Amino acid sequence: MTRSAFELTDGAGERRRFDPAERSVVCFVKDDCPTCLEILPTVERLRAHFAGHLPFLVVGQDEAGNRMLEERFELAAPLLDDAELTVSYDWELDVVPTLFVTGGEGEEQSVVGFVREEWQALTAALSEALGIVAPEVDWQALPAWRPGCGSRSADPLIAERLAARAGGSPLRARRIEVASADDPHEFLFDQGMTDGLPVVPPTPERVMRMLSGTARDPQEVVAVVPPNLAEATVEKVAINAVMAGCRPEYLPVVIAALEAACTDRFNAHGVMSTTMGASPVMVVNGPIRQRLGMNMGLGALGQGNRANATIGRALRLVLRNVGGARPGGTERSTLGNPMKFTMCFAEWEERSPWTPLHVERGFEPTDSVVSLFAMTSGPVQIVDQESRTASQLAGTMGQCLEAAFSPQMHYVTDTLLVVCPEHLDTLQRDGWGKEELRARIQEVSARPIRELVENERSGTGFRRAAADGMSDEELDKRLPKFRRSEDIHIVVAGSDAGKFSGAFHGWAIGEIGSQSVSAKIEEVT
């Protein structure tokens, strides 16, 4: 590689420049490396020998450590200070000690760690090239071999910070400096960048780490996010994923979910601004569930699983911080909704003989897919510990689902039904699949139109003026709860023990509302 020139300050405060185009020697050391300590007297002897013939610089990686080395070994010249590690990182240093000979007519030479024969051969070759005698070093008194230590710049956490600050960094988002005396968590609260809970400060190194979860270009636009119609780049999605507490491997799910949310079909603007309080509910299918350790069993719809909680939260933070969907602004929910914090879970495909959600929607079983539903409430528990037949149990589910919005309001919404494993077993014993379950729900929930007309008991439902123009035959027509059986979305999740299924009640459907959208997840291979 081509080494770059640099300027560093030595312990006396003098700026020293290194130009690799000139024949020069530079040796990197650090104070807590036993091998560096053992060979530093030899390095000092070499520096004294070659000093009159070419620049010979010794670079230390810690300011206080440099002073300790200077005093302990009574160095004739102070060490250069690379405490910021920018030079060590730029030179792709992995191990200290490393000695480089650069410039001149030959190619760069280097020795890593300490191998006596290599150091002796390099100093002899350099002396010959300069036309001077080789330095007097008692090589036999030195160990034949000593391993080096890891450069501080190669520490994973430090390397991420250095990568984020390097000239070739892919990050383009505006950087905000927080004063050292300020609490970064309180600062983010003050800036309105949280959902009311603390977030992880999105430092450059954390964002760089998050971006390792995708092969997509950080400046690629993922979606135009309503209501502000702001462009969300991969980098901005990664920033919000950091804030949500995601791991890098979760990022592809968040990206796919955002792409689905920002379609006209899903209508994120309407979902996030309706006074009804709708919010995205995310269901993940396919192999990625297992790789991310997502919860699909006990407590799948609740707290306690990092992937479930943070993936759902990341999507909402992007809609808030990039799209501008904030309470009191465009988000005008009358009561709010706890699902506006997060709601993401995986379908337990292995527990169910039924066709998984994503396969129903045309994807391959081996595809990893995220599906979004606009839901206003849930999960509402469906409690049935008594039914022993599929018909009975599905009847209970139909009765519970009829309560969505109001029992008198039919054809206006959809539902996401989460069937628990014990209820699944009851349905399976009678050979029922999803289609039979949907049909029974529609049958049980069907009511004559005359029973759905506004009355003294409730003003919801069919308007009286419309009903007055209907014939008795029309009023006797039975309407199921849902306009289409496909509006009953069914997945399996939850604990093996407990006969408690759940349902999410939807928002408005059709062109004026939201329609569920599924998107394939592009994983890093």
- Torsion angle of the four alpha carbons 195, 201, 204, 206, in this order, in degrees rounded to the nearest 10: -90
379 touches 283 (CB < 8 A): no
369 touches 286 (CB < 8 A): yes
Q: What is the pLDDT of residues 405-462, one digit of tens each?
A: 999 999 999 999 999 999 999 999 999 999 999 999 999 999 999 999 999 999 999 9
- What does the pLDDT average to over 34-57? 93
Strands 279-285 and 344-346: parallel
328 or 391, which is more confident? 391
Q: What is the pLDDT of residues 458-479, one digit of tens each?
A: 999 999 999 999 999 999 999 9
| Of the candidates 340, 319, 314, 170, the residue with the CA atom closest to the CA atom of residue 230 | 319
Beta bridge partners of 462: 453
Q: Does the pLDDT at position 115 exceed 80?
A: yes
Q: Does the pLDDT at position 167 exceed 70?
A: no
Its CATH class, for the domain covering 6-154, is alpha beta
- What does the pLDDT average to over 96-112? 86
- What does the pLDDT average to over 42-70? 92
DSSP structure string for 96-118: ESEEEEE-SSS--EEEESEEHHH
Determine the residue type at 367.
Answer: D
Mean pLDDT of the chain: 94
- What does the pLDDT average to over 308-328? 96
Q: At which residue do the structure tokens 């002073």 appear?
A: 67
Q: Does the pLDDT at position 105 exceed 90?
A: no
Q: Does the pLDDT at position 165 exceed 80?
A: no
Band the pLDDT of 168: cuts 50, 70, 90.
low
Every domain of the chain and the residues it spans: 6-154, 184-446+481-520
Q: Does the pLDDT at position 512 exceed 80?
A: yes
Alpha helix locations (H) across 131-250? 156-165, 184-190, 204-211, 234-244
What pLDDT is recorded for position 371?
A: 98
| Of the candidates 502, 490, 495, 492, the residue with the CA atom closest to the CA atom of residue 299 | 495
387 or 17, which is more confident? 387
Determine the residue type at 390.
Answer: A
Measured distance CA(253)–CA(308) in Å, rounded: 11
Q: Does the pLDDT at position 160 exceed 80?
A: no
Q: Does the pLDDT at position 370 exceed 70?
A: yes
What pLDDT is recorded for position 106?
A: 62
Q: Does the pLDDT at position 305 exceed 70?
A: yes
- What does the pLDDT average to over 16-25? 88
Q: Does the pLDDT at position 12 exceed 70?
A: yes
Q: Does the pLDDT at position 4 exceed 90?
A: no
Q: Indicate the SS3 state at residue 150.
A: strand
Band the pLDDT of 311: cuts 50, 70, 90.
very high
Q: With pLDDT > 90 as the criterion, what percentage of the chain qualifies?
A: 84
Strands 488-492 and 369-383: unpaired
Measured distance CA(124)–CA(129) in Å, rounded: 9
Distances in Å between the alpha carbon of 509 and those of 195, 271, 371, 415, 454?
27, 11, 16, 10, 21
